[in-house]
Amino acid sequence: MKTLLFAPETINIAETTRMIEIARACRPHFRCVFFGYSDRFSGLIEQAGFEFRRMQPWLTDAKIEHLWKVDRLESFDDPFTEAELRARVKSELALYNELNPSALVIGFTLSTVLSARVAGLPLVYVIPFPLSRPFLEANQGTWPDAFDSPLLGWLPKRWLDTAANRWMLNTRLWIMPFARLAGEYGLAPIRRLVDIYEGDYTLLTDIPELTGITSLPENWHYIGPIFAHLPGEIPPAILSLPRDQPLIYCAMGSSANHAILKKVIESFSGAPYTVIAPIQAHLANGPIQVPANVHVFDWLPADKVNPLADLAVIHGGQGTVQTACHSGTPFIGIGLQPEQESNIDMVVRYGSALRIRKSRLSQHSLLQAIETLLASPSARERATSLQAIFQRWAGVANAASFIRTTFS
């Protein structure tokens, strides 16, 4: 049986679970092996019955926090030093030599962009559409929240958005270690950041009904939504919650910014809602005054809990957004970085979500947005319409079919 390698960045629960879903569908046809550099969510891989190879250099807690700050545009330092990147490539090449896989399937384990090409190993990227080359070429991005400023208010929005797309399409930010190593290994030059976000095959976990883009570059394919189906049932404590006031599902993902999370949770104080918040893992990062109407849980099977809610308050991670869409739940989105902002914006344009810029988040803006959505029959109707579209897309089956057809 041929071997498939999966390499999610296992500090990210959405990316890890996306890879698990695809591997489950590929398991009848391939030996599926995972590798990664952190145990944050590797337990989910092993719990699903897959082998997980722990690679060096192992990510420290400080390094993980640095990667999240880079992801959220809170730091402009390189995500990896040249030495770290070189060590990762060396580890990956040794694993490829041992396992002789037919292909490598990744999310954002960026060192593999180098190692797979050095080894001549087909690289299958499974990514959201936002921030990809065709997304930026279609001018679909918006001015990032990280650079939001009242001083820019006099400029037309379309100018700012166009400037953001042109910059993201052409920037060399963060690529110098990649470019130098590409040169050392005799690979094709890496000249722009978008060059490291494209594989030999790129599978988009989005749908043209939301992106509005039907024509893609060669070897790019829409496969449809893929999101987590965590094990376990709905906790009895959730099923027994009173339903005399609106029920809100509030989840800020594994990439949560503590200050944003704190502001969101504390904003529910005194509000006439019952809130389900799977944020237990983040409470160790600093004090949060959890109101009495907010019920805290560890990670939940969101695909089962989300449909119970009248609306959701979420960050813009694609898995969390897709879970809400598949559940038919209108939502308020607070993106922590540009990709998440764009994930939210696609659903805002469809009519079943609202976005609050993180720089403008306050108790007033959050509660006002919640009341607006709760009072909007059209938002609920659009959410139901989008749910029907989502249910027609079999993202996992489409990904597995592509892999099987291409590499069997």
Among residues 368, 233, 251, 231, the alpha carbon closest in space to that of 309 is found at 251
Token pair, residue 30, equals: 């391939």
Residue 254, pLDDT score: 77
| 3-state SS assignment for residue 327 | helix
Interval 357-367 mean pLDDT:
94
What confidence category does residue 383 fall into, taking pLDDT thresholds of 50, 70 and 90? very high
The dihedral over CA atoms of 257, 260, 263, 267, expressed in degrees to the nearest 10, equals: -110
Residue 16, pLDDT score: 95
Whole-Å CA distances, 55 to 38, 45, 61, 160: 8, 15, 15, 41
Which tens digit of pLDDT belongs to each residue from 152-184? 888 898 999 999 999 999 999 999 999 999 999
Which tens digit of pLDDT belongs to each residue from 258-300? 899 999 999 999 999 999 999 998 887 778 999 999 999 998 9
pLDDT mean across residues, the chain: 94
- CA 226, distance to chain mean position in Å, is 11
Which tens digit of pLDDT belongs to each residue from 75-111? 999 999 999 999 999 999 999 999 999 999 999 999 9
Pairing of strands 353-355, 331-333: parallel
Question: What's the pTM value of the predicted model, to 2 decimals?
Answer: 0.93
- CA 2, distance to chain mean position in Å, is 29
Which tens digit of pLDDT belongs to each residue from 330-360? 999 999 999 999 999 999 999 999 999 998 9
Q: Rounded distance, CA 285 to CA 280, Å?
A: 10
Among residues 99, 130, 159, the alpha carbon closest in space to that of 322 is found at 130
What confidence category does residue 149 fall into, taking pLDDT thresholds of 50, 70 and 90? confident
Domains, the chain, in order of start with CATH, read 3-224+394-407 (3.40.50.2000), 236-390 (3.40.50.2000)
Is the CB of residue 34 less than 8 Å from the CB of residue 51?
Answer: yes
Residue bearing tokens 């590797």: 42
